[in-house]
Amino acid sequence: MPGKDYSYDIPDHPIEYVKVDPATVKFDPRAQRNLNKARATAIAEKLVPTALGTPILSRRDDDLYAVDGMHRVYACQLILAGKVSTAQEVREAVQTITCEVHSGLSMANEASLFIIKNKESSKVGANDEFRIGVLAGHPLFQDTNTVLEKHQLKVGSSSVNGVRGIKGILSIVMEHGPDILDQSLTVAEGAWGRHPDTWHSVTIGGIATVLAKHSDVVNGHELSERLKRQGDPTAFRAKIQTIATNNNTRHDGTHGRLKAAHLAVASAWNAKRRVNRIPVPNIFE
């Protein structure tokens, strides 16, 4: 529900900065992005030891696992194993590397730490962040995932069961709560069935805004029927784009598209209606 605390929380725990043999570090893709070996190889081939930074590790019993900086650590492993051609001084420099080592974390804590460290970075894709957030047990991602699983939807898929724009879907839950997301997906499927464009986050965002703002007036089943009259989901998305760009005469951003979606859904509800009309926003205010 709106107002729920969706902040990231990690318990106080020991942190130390120590020299580590990179060959001893392990990787667990459940708590972070998947290892891209081609990317790590490219890093290894051009590695400048003084620019290596400080990888973040988690101590699990007697083993060290990478939390952040996985590709840099793996690049060092490639160098030490002679898998790439590099200068002798580089190989000597990466015999040990300085790492930030966290102890006493659960795997869910590790995943939360990864998200926190990369939250303002463009390095982590939205789909990876969602997957890791679910594993971390973070309420925002868990609540969202519960609703998506109820509707048999998957993040990152381009099929008829794939959600497009997970950041927008998460924004719906943050602003309106998981129940509104649930209702919005039901309305969308009732209008257009299971189609890739049915689940586009901008369209769902418009439906969610109308449902959240006008729950005393708008009936989900009737809204589905009225949206169905607007054409297929691809045509409705195109209509939103046209509204957002004012017939391609102005640039649109995410906020503009969401306001356009709100307008499009509200207009569909009001069409040929004399009672129970709802306000239509002015998106160019």
CB within 8 Å of 204: residues ≥ 6 apart:
168, 169, 172, 181, 184, 185, 188
Q: Verify that 178 and 238 share a domain, yes or no.
A: yes
Of 54, 87, 118, which residue sits at a domain end? 118
CATH number of the domain enclosing 100: 3.90.1530
Question: Which stretch of DSSP H or E encloses residue 50?
Answer: none
- List, as one string, the DSSP characters of 176-214: H-HHHHHHHHHHHHHHH-S-GGGGBHHHHHHHHHHHHHT
Q: Verify that 208 and 85 share a domain, yes or no.
A: no
The total number of structural domains that make up the chain: 2
Q: Verify that 261 and 149 share a domain, yes or no.
A: yes
- List, as one string, the DSSP characters of 237-269: HHHHHHHHTTTTTS---HHHHHHHHHHHHHHHH
| Burial per residue of 80-94, b for 16 or more beta-carbon CB atoms within 10 angstroms, e otherwise | eeeebebeeebbebb
For residue 276, tell me if it sits in a domain: no
What pLDDT shows up at residue 166? 93
CA distances from 211 to 180, 197, 237, 259 (A): 7, 19, 18, 14
Residue whose pair of structure tokens reads 């004012």 in the numeric block: 246
Q: Verify that 93 and 162 share a domain, yes or no.
A: no
Q: Verify that 146 and 265 share a domain, yes or no.
A: yes
What pLDDT shows up at residue 194? 96
For residue 4, tell me if it sits in a domain: no
Q: Verify that 43 and 77 share a domain, yes or no.
A: yes
For residue 9, tell me if it sits in a domain: no
Q: Verify that 111 and 216 share a domain, yes or no.
A: no
Structural domain for 97, as ranges: 15-118
Q: pLDDT tens track of the chain, all 285 residues?
A: 556 777 777 889 999 999 999 999 999 887 777 888 999 999 999 898 888 899 999 999 999 999 999 999 999 999 999 998 888 999 999 999 999 999 999 988 888 888 888 775 556 688 888 988 888 788 899 999 999 999 999 998 888 999 989 999 999 999 999 999 999 999 999 999 999 999 999 999 999 999 999 999 999 999 999 999 999 999 999 999 999 887 555 555 556 789 999 999 999 999 998 899 999 887 655
For residue 10, tell me if it sits in a domain: no
pTM of the model as a whole: 0.67
For residue 235, tell me if it sits in a domain: yes
Q: Verify that 78 and 158 share a domain, yes or no.
A: no
